[in-house]
């Protein structure tokens, strides 16, 4: 008799990002700014910038905001 496959169902875990909020249109933005998370992520992908370089290019963002945005997507 073949063994039965057992699927474990775990409860969903809600992850919150301290420095990311959702605007009225449902777009994730960096808290305290009007910058969309996707804009920062695209800059990181396009230029290969580290979080420190992103901070240098966007000095109005904290490293906490940058790390939170990069992990959001």
Which tokens go with 36?
């969309």
Task: State residue 35's pLDDT score.
Answer: 96
Q: Is the pLDDT of residue 1 over 90?
A: no
Sign of the dihedral through C-alpha 46, 26, 15, 63: positive
Per-residue model confidence as pLDDT tens digits over 6-64? 445 667 777 788 899 999 999 999 999 999 999 999 999 999 999 999 999 999 999 99
| Neighbour count for residue 19 (Cβ, 10 Å) | 20
Per-residue model confidence as pLDDT tens digits over 19-33? 999 999 999 999 999
The domains of the chain are located at 20-72
Q: Which residues pair with 37 in a beta bridge?
A: none
Task: State residue 15's pLDDT score.
Answer: 78
Burial class (CB in 10 A: 0-12, 13-18, 19+), 47: exposed
> What's this model's pTM, rounded to 2 decimal places?
0.78
């Amino acid at each position: 008799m073949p063994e039965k496959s057992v699927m474990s169902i775990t409860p969903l875990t809600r992850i919150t990002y301290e420095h990311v909020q959702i605007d009225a249109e449902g777009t994730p933005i960096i808290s305290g700014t009007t910058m969309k998370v996707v804009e920062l992520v695209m800059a990181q992908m396009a230029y290969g910038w580290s979080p420190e370089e992103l901070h240098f290019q966007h000095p109005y963002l904290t490293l906490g905001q940058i790390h939170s945005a990069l992990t959001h997507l």
